[in-house]
Amino acid sequence: MTERRKDLLILSGLLAVLLLYFSKILFTHQIVRAPDIINEFYWGVKGAGSQPFWSLFRVNLSSAGWDYLINSGSTNEGGAASMQFLFTRNLILWLFPAPSNVAWYMVFHIFVGGAGAYYFCRVLGTGRYAALAAALIFTLAPENASLINAGHVMKIATISFTPWAFYFLEKGFRTRRLLFFMTTAVVLAFQFFHTHWQVAYYTCLAIGVYGVARSLCIVFADHDGKKAFGRLLALNVTLLVFFLTTVAISLVPLANWSKETNRGVNSGANVTAATGQTEAKGGLAREEAMSWSLPPEETAAFIIPGMFGFSRQEAGANPSNIDSYYWGRMNFTQTVSYMGLLPWLLLPLPLIFRRDRFTWLALSAVVVGILFSMGKYTLFYNLLFDYFPGINRFRVPKMIMFIPVLGLGVLSAFAIDLLLDPAVRTSRAFKRYLIGVVALPVLLMVLVGVEVTTGNFWVNKFIDIIGQPTRYEPQSDKLVLQRWTNLINETWIAAALAGIFAVVFAMYQRGKLSAKLLPFMLIGLFLVDTGRVNAKFLFLVDEPHKAAAVQPPDIAYLVKQPKEFRALPLNGDPMPYAAAGVPVMFTSNPVQQRRWQEFLDNFNLASSMPDIMNVRYLVATKEQYEQDKAALAGKYVPVFVSPNGAMMILENKTVLPKAWLAPVAVQVPDPADALGALQNPQFDPRMIAIVETPPPIPIAGPGATIPATGPGQVRVSKYEAEKIDLEAAVNMNSMLVMGEKYYKGWKATVDGKLTEIYPVNHVLRGIYLTPGVHKVEFVFDPTPFKIGKTLTLASFAIFALFLGREIWLARRAKGAGA
C-alpha cells in the first residue's frame, strides 16, 4: 500500500468517526436548535435543494449587491460576492435534504479542518496515529465542536481552513517553492470568503507570527544565512501581496464599507485625548470590545468542563442533560471552554523530550492564544487593542481559542510519538512524568473533598458570582445549591476520568498495555470524554413551522402588497418575512451603518420616522396590539387579522411614498439635533428636509410661502434592488427625498448628467432639483467592488497558470522516469 493510500485510509477512519459522533444531527428530519440557524442561516439556504444542478456553479460578479428586502436596504459593497466561489457549500446544501443539510455542512467542514490538522502534523514528521489524534482533538474538542450549539455555521467553515494554511506554509518553508506560498495565500483568501472575518483575521495573525518565526529559525540555522534571508523575505512578501490581491474582491469593498459602520474609523468610538484635542480612531469602545473576555478563573474549566455550568440556549430551555446554565463572568456563552483532558495530560511530554522549534511554536500558540482570549484581564490584550491595527474592530477576544486547540493538537501528536518510543517509556524522566499524571486525579479528589466539606465557606465567599441570576435562571433559594452541586459532580467526573487515564499510562509503562493498543485506548477515552460534553450541545427541534409549504396568513397578506413599502414585525424574527419577499425595516446585525444605528437608537413609532422609511405595515400579536392600542391609535389602523386571531397587521396611514419633493431645506450639522427633530411628532418631512451642508441652489427656508400647487410631483417608474428610475415634475427649487438609505455607493443622474447625492433626514438620500420635468436615475455601482473584483480575477488567473505549470512539470518528470 502506498503512503498516500495509507493517509487516505486514516482520513476515511476520521470521517467514519465523525459521522458516528454527529449522527444525531445528521440523520434526522429535525434541525439544530440554535438561534443563528433557525432565525437566520436556514432562511437563506432552505431552497438550495430545489435549484438546478448547474446553477450551483454559476458566478455572477456584475453586481455589488444591494438587498432591499432586509434592514431597509443592506449591503457590504460586494464584500460577500466571493461567497459565489463556495461551490462545495452550494453542493452540500443541494445534496442533503433540508433541514439536516445545515448540520451536514457544519460536519463537512469539521472534517476538512481535521484533515488539515492531520496533514499539518504529518508534514511536521509525526506518525499517522499521532496525526489522527491531533485531527480528532481539533475537530472534537468542545471549544470547537460546541460552536454547533451556537449555530455559528460560517464560523465553523472559516475555522476549517486554518490548519490547511499552516500545512501549505510549512510545505513552502521546507521546499522553498513559490507555489506553496501562493497556495497558502489562496487558502487564506478562501477562508476570508467564508465571511467570518474575525476568525480569518486571527488566522492571518497566527500565520504571520508563524511565518516570521520559521523564517528566523531557518536563517539562524542556515550556514548561508544572508542568502536564505533574501529568498525567504521574497517568498513571504509574495505570500502577503498575493493574498491581498486574491482576497481583494472581499477586502477592498469591506475596507471601504467598514469606515461608516459602528465599528469603523468614523464611528467616533475609542475617543482619546491627543494634544488637548480629541481624536476618534474608530472601532468598538473598549468595554464592548472586551465583553467576551475569558475570565482567568475559567481556565479551570479546561480540566473540569462544567465547573461554571454549560450552555446558554437562546432558542429555548436547556436540554435535560444540563444541570446548570453558564454562570461565569462573561455576558453569556453558547459554547464551553473545554478541549478534552487528554491534550493537557500529553502536553508535558514534548516539553520534556522534544524541545525543538516546533514544540515551542505550538506551545506559543497555546499560551499566547489563551492570554489573548482573556482580553481585558491581561495587559497583553489591552496593549494590542490600543496599538495593533484591527484588534479594536472585534468584540470577542475568546474567539481566538481555535488557535490554542490546534496548538494542543500538534503537541499531542508529538507526545503520542514520544509515548511509542521505547527509549522514552523506559527513561527516568518518563517515570517522573507518570507521577504527575497520577497526581492529577489525586488532586481532583482532594478538591472534591474540599468542596464537600467546606462548601458553605466557599459559597459565602463567592456568593456574588455563584448567586448571580441570569436571563434563564432567576434568583431563587435553589439557584446556589444547584450550581454548587453541579460543580461538585463535574469535579467528581473529572477526577474519575483523570484516574482512568492514569491507570492506562501506568499499565503502558509497566508493559501491560502494548504500544499498538495505546493510541487507540487514548483516542477512545478522548472520544468518551468529549462525547459526554458535546452531547449537551447537540440539541434538535422540529423544522421551523414558518418553513412549511403554506405561508402563515400574515406573510401571505404582506407578499401581495407593493414592494416599495416596508413592514416592521413587532412579534419577533423578521427573516421569514424577508425570505418570502417582504421588505422589512429592521434586521438584527452587530455591525450596522453608523447613521442607521443612530436612527434605530432613536426610533419612535409615534413620530414621522416610520413614515420616511416607507414603513406601511406593523405586524403584532393580538396581545401586543391590545397593550399598545392607545399609543398606536390614529396613526396605525388594523387592516388584517389572522384566522385564529393571533396575529394582526396594522397599516400606517401617514406613510410617505417612495419619493417626494420637499420645498424647504434646513441645515442641521449636529446628528443629535437632527434625530431630535425627527422624533418630534410635529415635524413634517413632506415640507422640510433636514440637510447637513448648505444647499448648492437657492431653496426656501422655514416660514417661506409655498405655492398652492406645491413643489411638484414625483413618480417612480422603476424600482429594483440596484436601480431606481423616477420622473419628477418640479415647480420650484426642491430637494427630492427618497425613502431609501443614504449610501456612498449609489450614483445619481438627472437628465443623464451625474449629480451629487446628499444625506437627508440623517439616513435618507436626496438630490436637489430645479424647476422643470426631469428624468432621475439612481444606480448602485460602488467603485471599490470593481477594483477588488479585477484584482481577484487576475490573481486566480495567475495561480491557475502556476498550478498548470506545476502539473505539466510533474507529468513530464514522471514520463522521463518511466
And the C-alpha cell for 788?
477588488
363: number of CA atoms within 13 Å, CB side? 16
Please give the grid coordinates belonging to residue 96. 442533503
Angle (CA) 329-409-411 rounded to 5° is 105
> Which residue is associated with the grid cell 481555535?
402
Looking at the structure, tell me whether residues 642 and 614 fall in a common domain.
yes
Does the structure show a pLDDT above 90 at 209? yes
Give dist(CA 152, CA 103) in Å, integer: 11
Q: Are residues 604 and 698 in the same domain?
A: no
Nearest-5° Cα angle at 338, 392 to 429: 110
Domain membership of residue 153 (yes or no) is: no
Question: What confidence category does residue 497 fall into, taking pLDDT thresholds of 50, 70 and 90?
Answer: very high
A 10 A CB-CB count for 463 gives 11
Instruction: Collect all residues with Cβ–Cβ distance below 8 Å to 580 and sequence separation of at least 6.
Output: 551, 555, 558, 559
Q: Is 681 in the same domain as 760?
A: yes
Determine the structural domain holding residue 719 and report its residue range.
Answer: 659-781
Angle value at C-alpha 137, between 135 and 138, nearest 5 degrees: 65
Nearest CA among 491, 497, 492 for reference residue 437 = 497
Does residue 88 or residue 572 have the better pLDDT? 88
Helix axes 101-123, 3-21, angle to 10 degrees: 140
Please tell me whether residues 615 and 681 are part of one structural domain. Answer: no
Residue whose entry in the numeric block shows the C-alpha cell 487576475: 794
Contact 83, 193 (CB under 8 A): yes
Beta strands 723-730 and 712-719, pairing class: antiparallel
| Closest among 11, 197, 26 to 111, alpha carbons compared | 11
Give the whole-angstrom CA distance, residue 548 versus residue 553.
12
- Model pLDDT, residue 283: 75
For range 312-324, the mean pLDDT: 71
Q: Which of 652, 676, 692 is the last residue of a domain?
A: 652
Give the residue from 263, 298, 294 showing the smallest Cα distance to 280.
Answer: 263
Checking if the pLDDT of 546 tops 80, the result is no
Cell of 20: 458516528
In a domain, 510, yes or no: no
Q: Do 698 and 775 fall within a single domain? A: yes
In whole angstroms, what is the distance from residue 397 CA to residue 390 CA?
A: 12
The answer as to whether 134 is a domain residue is no
- Structural domain includes residue 713: yes
Q: Is the pLDDT of residue 613 over 80?
A: yes
- 648: three-class secondary structure by DSSP: strand
Using alpha carbons, select from 518, 348, 517 the residue that is nearest to residue 432: 348
Q: Are residues 664 and 772 in the same domain?
A: yes
- The Cα 617–Cα 610 span in angstroms is 10
Amino acid at 433: Y
Average the pLDDT over each of 317-326, 438-447, 615-624, 660-669 and give the range with the smallest value: 317-326
Contact residues for 344 (Cβ-Cβ < 8 A; gap 6+):
302, 303, 408
3-class DSSP assignment, residue 814: helix
Strands (E), 485-613: 540-541, 566-569
**More reliable by pLDDT, 426 or 548:** 426
Which residues on adjacent β-strands are paired with residue 232?
A: none
Residue 779, φ and ψ in degrees, nearest 5: -135, 135
420 alpha carbon, distance to own chain's centre: 40
DSSP symbols for 689-727: EEESS--SS--B-TTPPPPTT-SEEEEEEEE-SSEEEEE
Q: Domain tally for the chain? A: 2
Query: Would you call 170 exposed, middle or buried from its count of C-beta atoms within 10 A (0-12, 13-18, 19+)?
Result: buried
- Range picked from 539-548, 578-587, 697-706 for highest mean pLDDT: 578-587
Do residues 738 and 765 touch, judged by C-beta distance below 8 A? yes
Residue 477 belongs to a domain: no
pLDDT at 120 (0 to 100): 98
pLDDT of res. 705: 78
Which of 737, 619, 722 has the alpha carbon at shortest distance from 688?
737
**Strands ordered across the beta sheet of 647-652:** 566-569, 615-621, 647-652, 636-641
- One domain, residues 673 and 769: yes
Burial-class residue 809 by CB neighbours within 10 Å (0-12, 13-18, 19+): exposed
Residue-wise pLDDT tens digits, 431-479: 999 999 999 999 999 999 999 999 888 888 888 888 888 777 777 778 8
DSSP assigned state of 41? I
End-to-end CA separation in angstroms for the chain = 20
* Weakest-pLDDT range from 62-76, 130-144, 200-214, 464-478: 464-478
**Whether 679 and 777 share a structural domain:** yes
- Structural domain includes residue 101: no
What is the pairing mode between strands 664-667 and 659-662?
A: unpaired
CA atoms within 13 A on the CB side of 799: 23
Domain boundary among 614, 635, 652: 652
CATH code, domain with 738: 2.60.420
The per-residue b/e assignment along 690-718, b for 16 or more CB within 10 angstroms, e otherwise, is bbeeebeeebbeeeeeeeeeebbebebee
Rounded to an integer, what distance in angstroms lies between the CA atom of residue 559 and that of residue 1?
Answer: 61
User: Percent of the chain having pLDDT more than 70?
Assistant: 95
As given in the structure block, the three cell numbers for residue 706 are 409655498
Residue type, 67: D
Same domain, yes or no, for 617 and 726? no
Q: Which residues pair with 615 in a beta bridge?
A: 566
Q: Are 75 and 745 in contact (CB under 8 A)?
A: yes
Domain boundary among 637, 652, 667: 652
| pLDDT (0 to 100) of residue 47 | 80
Task: Compute, in degrees rounded to 10, the torsion defined by CA atoms 319, 324, 330, 331.
Answer: 60
Same domain, 568 and 604: yes
* Positive/negative CA dihedral, 451, 455, 460, 461: negative
* 706/614 same-domain check: no
Residue type, 478: K
Cα dihedral value 712, 715, 720, 723, nearest 10: -50
Q: How many helices (H) does the chain have, and how many strands (E)?
A: 34, 19
Mean pLDDT on 310-334: 77
Q: How far apart are CA 130 and CA 523, in angstroms?
A: 10
Distance CA 141, CA 102 (A): 20
Same domain flag for 681 and 776: yes
The residues near 210 (Cβ < 8 Å, ≥ 6 apart) are 166, 169, 361
pLDDT tens digits, one per residue of 257-303 = 988 887 665 555 554 433 344 445 567 888 888 989 999 999 999 99
Helix (H, G, I), strand (E, B) or coil at 809: helix
Question: Does residue 480 fall inside a structural domain?
Answer: no
Q: Residue 768 in 3-state DSSP?
A: strand
Instruction: Classify residue 725: in a domain, yes or no.
Output: yes
CB 747 within 8 A of CB 779: yes
Q: Please, which pLDDT band fits residue 199 given cuts at 50, 70 and 90?
A: very high
Q: What does the pLDDT average to over 226-254?
A: 93
Q: At what angle do helices 101-123 and 402-419 cross, to 10 degrees?
A: 50
Q: Are 503 and 345 in contact (CB under 8 A)?
A: no
Which position has the grid cell 412579534? 571
The rounded mean pLDDT for the chain is 91
Q: Sheet harboring 688-691: ordered strands across?
A: 659-662, 734-741, 764-769, 758-760, 688-691, 664-667
Report the share of the chain in percent with pLDDT over 90: 72
Contact 153, 48 (CB under 8 A): no
